[in-house]
Chains A and B, each alone.
Chain A
Amino acid sequence: MDPIHQFEIKTLFTFGKIGGAEIAFTNSALYMLIAVGLIGLLMIGATASRALIPGRLQSVAEISYEFVSNTLRSTAGTEGMKFFPLVFSLFMFILAVNVIGLIPYAFTVTSHIIITVSLALLVFLTVIVYGFWKNGLHFLKSFVPSGIPIYILPFVVFIEVFSFFVQPVSHSVRLFANMLAGHITLKVFAGFVVLLGAAGWLGWLGAVLPLGMTVALTALELLVAFLQAYVFAILTCIYLSRAIHPGH
């Protein structure tokens, strides 16, 4: 009945030890592989026929491509399209992992902060490396907005620099905490069903209410799973656009 129990990482088998640390294949890794395999199957299977009039499966691939590319083009411009593989992979991976996690008894990979921090740091380091590689020291100008009076400029620059370094924190914690909180809420309401069901026939009648709530919450969580993948992708686009156009 412990709502935290579902996030437990179990070791399936171990590869051995490297420098005292155990290298293990866990259920988290298994679900990541399942997600990547499903995306790969979807994309390869959908584009195999390459029909002029797309079928159902090909439409799924084309719509997801169009969706991400429109988002990227509207936020980072056409120059941002060179980052399309990164943004598309992030979006599809997080979406697949979130949706798989909604299946009962499945493990939600994004409910662990280590996964989301890794993804967010990948984006953060890409922005820094690409920003300095493309613009040189001109990249630092993105922290100094133009048209600000000189006496409040240090304060504004401080806020800009601070918010830049908070980006990976909020980027990762948002996804992680949304998935964690959603799954805890689902588990708590599912626990009410069991508790009421144990109380006799009157409890069975009462248990209909939390059961309906669980169904409604699952629908909401499906929306959240998609929305958080989209939010992660769009924030990636916005952070990348800072590296591409530092003047704005």
Chain B
Amino acid sequence: MDPQAAKYIGAGIACIGMGGAGVGVGTIFGYYLAAALRNPSAAQGQFGNLIFGFAVTEALGIFSLLIALLLMFT
């Protein structure tokens, strides 16, 4: 196989990992919204935790995107 073609296929496969991060981020915001609707007065206090969880989860998706970018452009 042409090495360049193998690189592009690898970049595509690496992007599958972003799907997992999508599930994780969706879960975080979904549960936050569900909990915020149950108890709106406590929601504002948990905003920092929400962003922290979002950042930690999103990092994993970003790592797979980074692998894809490295395969594409280096």
Residues in chain A within 8 A of chain B (CB atoms): 4, 71, 74-75, 170, 173-174, 177-178, 180-181, 184, 227, 230-231, 234-235, 238
Contacts and interface: CB of A to CB of B under 8 A. Distances in A.
B55 A178 contact: no
Interface in B33-51: 45, 48, 51
A174 B69 contact: no
A80 to B, nearest CB: 13
A181 B59 contact: no
A177 B55 contact: no
Interface residues of B, number: 15
Given A173-B62, A177-B69, 20 more contacts: A4-B73, A74-B45, A74-B48, A170-B59, A170-B63, A173-B63, A174-B55, A174-B58, A174-B59, A178-B62, A180-B69, A181-B62, A181-B65, A181-B69, A227-B51, A231-B51, A231-B54, A231-B55, A234-B48, A234-B52
B66 interface: yes
A177 B51 contact: no
Interface of B: 45, 48, 51-52, 54-56, 58-59, 62-63, 65-66, 69, 73
Given A71-B48, A173-B63, A177-B62, A235 B55 contact: yes
A86 B5 CA distance: 46
A-B interface, 7 closest residue pairs, ranked by CB to CB distance from nearest: A231-B55, A170-B59, A177-B62, A174-B59, A177-B66, A174-B62, A4-B73
A231 B66 CA distance: 19
Nearest to B61: A177
5 contacts: A170-B59, A173-B66, A174-B58, A181-B65, A231-B55
A38 B65 CA distance: 32
A230 B58 contact: no
